[in-house]
Structures are given as structure tokens and as C-alpha cells.
Structure 1
Amino acid sequence: MKLFNWEYDFDPAFPIHLFPFDVTGNRDSMHWHRYHEIGLCTGGTGKFVYLNKVYTVSPGDIFVSNNYESHVAISDAGEETQYLFLIFLPSIISAPSGQSVDAQYLRFLQYDPLRFENRISAQEPAAAPLGELIRKAYETYKAGGEFCQMELDILLRQILLTLSRARSASSGTVRNGPGQNPKIAEAREYINDHYNTRLTLRQVAGHLNLNESYFRHLFKDEMRISFKAYITLLRLANAQKLLIASDQSVNEVIQEVGYSNISQFYKIFELNFKMTPAEYRRRYREDRET
């Protein structure tokens, strides 16, 4: 099953799209995409799961996902979570023939995924103005008209400027384009589609027609994490999603995310979360009921 999803056929001349989206349960798979995404929660509660992070979701929260970090939104039991999403390709802001200042709007999106704070909480000072800008951009997008693209261009830049101020200084070292290497993009797509199989570095390197040693170093340089650690975190992120939002048994979850050795999974899970999978599930459900 393809985990690289949520593709959109953008207008090459103006690659931006805004749309409302409802999340029910855990129907969507962990995924990534080649565009940047900004999501405003407009109703309901739930969770947003990233590679090594889980955020609670409430109305007014804003979530930022760049064009290489794996993630998925899920709703709380009995809830439907509503979002307003803004998605765009980097080329709408920063093209090779553009001004050098254009690239600065996207610089904060070249973040370290293990350290970046994806959520702008509704309580943060930047949340309210960002929410207003996103809603205004959506209304402009729906209305169309002669000056629609000009106004959307201004609004998108205002949104990115506000996000840059809110996140660049507090979210770790900004990086130079991880995931931009086409071989790494291809590798991540293949890994995300096969993470729950007996996947090896040699197998992925072979798929890319690359030397195994070269691919090992290239992956770590681009992703700031080793191949083995990335696979582990991807499996754990999917396990978290299933523990939070499904009624599958722990053993069923373990098998679904690609572990054949149950004791090994327990050891890795407890090492990362300081609790057992059953305790993790129980804590989430207790938090949801309070």
C-alpha cells in the first residue's frame, strides 16, 4: 500500500491549494508529500503524529509539515476533527530566477525533523493572526477573480513571515535542504511503502542503484539520522498511531508495524517512551477522558 499520498495536481504557474478536510478516526496512513502543508484546526480534537512526536489537537492549533517529514492526523474516539489546509510547492515562492530574498520565506521549512516544533498552539501569540490569515487566504482562493493570485501571493508571504518569526529561533538548527536530493526523496518513498517488511539498507541502495556505503552516508547527511534509526522511528510512529486510535491488540500492532520479535519491540518502545505499549495506550485514554 502506498504511504506516499495526498498528491495534488497543482497549476504549474501558481502551485497553491486551500481546502477544508475532516479527519475521522485513524483512516489515513502515515505519509509524506512533495509540497509544504499548513493546517489550521477549526473544530474537534485529536492527535497529530510525526516521526518522533505526538501532539494533541484543539481548535485554533496550527500544524506545519514540510515536504519530507512523515506525519498523519487522527481524531479522538467519537470525534471528527476539522481542518483548513494550505498546501503549496516551494516554486510558488522561490524559483531559480527569483530574488534571493524569496528563499528566506522557506528557510524555516528546512528544519531538523527530530527537533522542530510542528505545532503552533492556539495559546501562542502567533496562532490567532495566523489563523486569520489562513481563513482569509481560503476565502480569497474560493472567490477567485482578477486579483486573486496577487492577493494570495501576499497572504502566503505574510503567513510564512509570521511562521518564520515564530519558529526559526526556537526549533533547532535550520538546515540546507534535506530531502531535496532526488535520490533521498526516492529512498524515503520506498522506505515509507516498505517499512513494515524486513527492509535492509542494501535493499534500498539496490533499488536506487547506489553503492551501499555511499547511500548510508548520503542518507545520514541529508536526514540527520541513520537509516536504521529512521526505520525504527517510522515503525514506532505507526505503532503510536495504532495504540492511540485503534482497538487492535498490542501484539497485532507489533506485527502490523513490522516487528516479528515481540520482546525486541517492547525493549525499543520502553527505551523511547519510558513505558510499555499498554501503559502508553492507557495513559492516552485516561487523558482523553479527563
Structure 2
Amino acid sequence: MKRMFEPVAFRNTKLFWDYRLKNTENYQGYHHWHQCCEMLYVHEGAGRVVLDGETYPIRKGMLFFFRPYQLHHVFANVSKEQPYSRTIFFFDPHLMEEQLQPFAKRHALFKALWRGQNKVKAFDLSSYSESIERNYENYQSVRSQGMGEDVEEVAMLILRNLDCMLHSKTAPSEQIQLAEERKSIGYAQQAMKWIDEHYQDSFYLDDLAAAMHLSKFYLSKLFHGETGSTLKAYITAIRIRHACRLLETTTKSVEILGSEVGIPNTSYFVRVFKQEVGTTPLKYRTGSVFNTNKPTFYNMDLSL
């Protein structure tokens, strides 16, 4: 069963590498986060990435950087004629920071991305696609020779990505979108903004629809079409992610936590939390959920 929190099991490896994953059918995606950094590069495909209340297009040459504990949702419009092909890799930012320090500009970009200080979260690297493809092919070759765990090789893989990101002219999400795309995503992003501002309240979908002067059914249809997710799923994801943050950073009781994220019924809050995260709130707080890898949630920017 898919869970919102997906701890990556490195098992003493330095990089979790998935090269050229390809889907030709049934790719819906879901809201989730990891305890480590993730880079996602799109070789081909179409769809959306939902990140921090904004949507970004999936298309050839797009690269996404997800910082630790950052809620994101990837969904692709997939068919045999339009496959979704991507390379994904995960790594511990603490391990890489030391390796990147000699490269001042790239190290600064990496830290800003890791700590959530960089406004740009998606990079259109289509003009650098040949360099990116060659970088990944070279690293894949290195892995096939049994040298993929060499720290220098991993650092070079990330440095080459950072180099393209540093020199790209990528702007915030509204400028990444094509003109016709920008028109169609407005309602979805307005809805996400409203939810982000009201998740602490116990509200109904009718309240959200009324605030946007739309019918509940029309808004739901628009939202699903633009994000690949239902409004209910997004609301739950936001509330549970905030609950996790409170569990990680405070000693507030489960009863208080539930109320502060808009789920005042404690038994229902615990049930939803366990369903979405895979463990109870108390076990999450004690860290047992991190048993596949050394926990690194402390000293992190845990903002959404």
C-alpha cells in the first residue's frame, strides 16, 4: 500500500538510483515525501508535478529537486504512444554537502535547494538535455562497472546537474507554463492556496467552493484534471504533513495536534494518520518509522 511518508532504505549505499524508469499505462501518482533529497529528470512524458501549492508541467528536459520532507505529487498522462520516462535518484544531503564545498556557486545553490531557500523548485533544462543525458549515461556506466558507490562519482553526478541548473534561465512556475497552460491552472492553485490557509479549520468542500464562487462539483472536476488528485486527498495530505511536522518539532499531545490540523476527532485523526503514514502518531514521534535509515529530520527546514 502506498504511504505518504516513504522512507528511502539506502542500506549502506550512498545513492538510490533508478535509471530511465518507463511507464506506458496507469500512472496516477500520490502525495508523499521522503527523508532525503530527490532529483527527478524527465526524459519524455506529459502531466503535472504538484509542489508547494503550485503545478509544474511534466515534459522533456524538466528537472525537479525535492528537499527532505517536502510534500509532492507527480502524475503523468500516460499511454503507449505517450510514455512517461524519467530518472530518479535519492541521496543524503549531509553526505554530499562536504563533497560539494570546494565548488562555491554550486554548493550555494545546493544548500539553498536543500534548505528550502531557493524559490525555483523546477528547472527547464531542455536546452541542456544532451549534457544531462550524457551525465546520466556516464554514471550508469560507472555503476555497471561496480564504482557507483564511489563518493567522487556521486558528487560529480550531482555537480553536473547543479551546473546545468545554475546556468539555466528558469523562472518561477507561472513562467515555466505555456500561455495556454497558465489559463487552465488558476483555479487549482487558488484552491490549494485556500486550503493551505484554512487547513487548521474544520471546513467542508462547500466552504471552499463558495469562497471561489464555483459549484463543488465543477471545482472538483477542475482540480482533478489539473493535479491528478482529488480535493479530499490534497486536504488530507496537507493536514497530515503538518501533523508530522508538529510531531517532529513539539511535544503537543495527539489530541491537540489533531485539532490544530483541522481534525478535532482524536480517534478519527489517529485512524487517518495511520492509514496515510503507515504508523501511529506516537510511533512516528519516537522515530520508529525511520528504521530503514538513520533519521535526519532534525536540523532540517520542515516547511511545506
Q: TM-score with structure 1 length normalisation?
A: 0.53
Partner of 2:53: 52
Distance 1:19 1:148 in 2: 17
Whether the 8 Å contact between 1:18 and 1:138 is mirrored in structure 2 is no
Give CA deviations for 1:46-82 in whole Å, capped at 9, x if unaligned.
2212131112212332222111321121121545412
Partner amino acid, structure 2, of 1:107: K
Aligned-residue sequence identity (percent) comes to 11
Residue 92 of structure 1: how far off its partner (Å): 2.4
Residue 166 of structure 1: how far off its partner (Å): 3.4
Residue 284 of structure 1: how far off its partner (Å): 8.6
Partner of 2:120: 117
Residue 19 of structure 1: how far off its partner (Å): 0.8
* Equivalent of 1:278 in 213, 218, 221: 221
Residues 1:64 and 2:68 are matched in the alignment: no
Alignment CA distance shift 1:128-1:230 (3 Å): same
Give CA deviations for 1:117-175 in whole Å, capped at 9, x if unaligned.
3332254x3444234323322332233249954333323222223323437x9569xxx
Partner of 1:104: 108
Residue 278 of structure 1: how far off its partner (Å): 3.4
Residues 1:33 and 2:34 are matched in the alignment: yes
Whether the 8 Å contact between 2:14 and 2:149 is mirrored in structure 1 is no
Partner of 1:233: 196
Whether the 8 Å contact between 2:37 and 2:93 is mirrored in structure 1 is yes
Whether the 8 Å contact between 2:8 and 2:35 is mirrored in structure 1 is no
Unaligned runs of 5+ in 2: 174-191, 229-304
Residue 85 of structure 1: how far off its partner (Å): 0.9
- Ranked by relative contact order (alpha carbons within 8 Å, sequence separation 6 or more), the top structure is 2
Unaligned runs of 5+ in 1: 173-228, 237-257, 286-290
* Equivalent of 1:87 in 73, 86, 90: 90
Distance 2:205 2:110 in 1: 42
Alignment CA distance shift 1:139-1:51 (3 Å): same
**Number of residues paired by the alignment?**
199
Whether the 8 Å contact between 2:143 and 2:149 is mirrored in structure 1 is no
Partner amino acid, structure 2, of 1:72: H
Partner of 2:3: 2
Whether the 8 Å contact between 2:36 and 2:67 is mirrored in structure 1 is yes
Partner amino acid, structure 2, of 1:16: L
Whether the 8 Å contact between 1:60 and 1:128 is mirrored in structure 2 is no
* Mapping 1:100-179, distance limit 5 Å: 101=104, 103-104=107-108, 106-110=110-114, 112=116, 116-123=119-126, 125-145=127-147, 148-166=150-168
Task: Name the SS of the counterpart of 1:276 in structure 2.
Answer: helix
Whether the 8 Å contact between 2:15 and 2:90 is mirrored in structure 1 is yes
Partner amino acid, structure 1, of 2:54: K
Residue 90 of structure 1: how far off its partner (Å): 0.7
Residue 15 of structure 1: how far off its partner (Å): 1.9
Whether the 8 Å contact between 2:38 and 2:91 is mirrored in structure 1 is yes
Select between 146-155 and 72-81 the one with higher mean Cα deviation: 146-155
Alignment CA distance shift 1:263-1:230 (3 Å): closer
Residue 3 of structure 1: how far off its partner (Å): 0.6
Partner amino acid, structure 2, of 1:158: R
Distance 2:204 2:164 in 1: 46
Whether the 8 Å contact between 2:41 and 2:64 is mirrored in structure 1 is yes
Task: Name the SS of the counterpart of 1:68 in structure 2.
Answer: coil
Q: CA RMSD in A?
A: 4.2
Whether the 8 Å contact between 1:122 and 1:128 is mirrored in structure 2 is no
Q: TM-score with structure 2 length normalisation?
A: 0.51
Distance 1:30 1:48 in 2: 10
Residue 100 of structure 1: how far off its partner (Å): 9.3
Alignment CA distance shift 1:131-1:48 (3 Å): farther
Partner of 2:283: none
Alignment CA distance shift 1:269-1:22 (3 Å): farther
Residue 31 of structure 1: how far off its partner (Å): 0.8
Distance 1:235 1:128 in 2: 44
